Amino acid sequence: MKRIAVYCGSASPADPRYVALAADVGRQLAERGIGVVYGGGRLGLMGAVADGALAAGGEVIGVIPQALVGAEVAHHGLTRLDVVPGMHARKQAFVDLADGFLTLPGGVGTMDELWEAVSWAQLGYHAKPVGVLNAFGFYDHLLAFNRHMIEVGFIRPVHAGIMVAEHELDLLLQRMAAHEPHRPIIAMQASDL
């Protein structure tokens, strides 16, 4: 993977571990020669990922909607900052620019990005790995809910492995690199659904 889209919060939680984690992920990606594509802000975990990667000499591409340039305080020290018309264009740029998706802790926007990456993979709009770094057990409940959707039958068995989760970045990146595309919905017949 040459570039990874990193989804994470623009907030800085009171617990300093989250910002430190984001900076470390940015640094580690840069040290592996993996470019970062992210939301383009300089605050919170978003800014920490970017700054961590930049400090290690990495490529960082920010993609930010025009309306959020002021609200998310756009990071102007990046390798490249793309200002796009809106959120749909931002998420499409993530798909176009990255070879995979890595989700760190975050809030509603992070969840929106994660679930869209999973949904688009399931449908067949991309065939890239979707990773979740479950640091500090942050995503334990989300992963349990995902398993529940699989068990109930709302996620087909062929799509059950789209979301890859690990507690450690090294193992997660290994699993993402070994990703093999599944059979997407657009390649199925009505009888398969």
Is 93 a member of any domain? yes
Is 80 a member of any domain? yes
pTM for this entry: 0.94
Q: Which domain holds residue 45?
A: 3-178
Distance from C-alpha of 15 to C-alpha of 36, rounded to nearest angstrom: 24
Is 187 a member of any domain? no
Is 191 a member of any domain? no
CATH number of the domain bearing residue 159: 3.40.50.450
Q: pLDDT digit string (tens) for 112-146?
A: 999 999 999 999 999 999 999 999 999 999 999 99
Q: pLDDT digit string (tens) for 59-117?
A: 999 999 999 887 768 999 999 999 999 999 999 999 999 999 999 999 999 999 999 99
Are the CB atoms for 47 and 53 separated by under 8 Å? no
Is 193 a member of any domain? no
Q: How many domains does the chain have?
A: 1
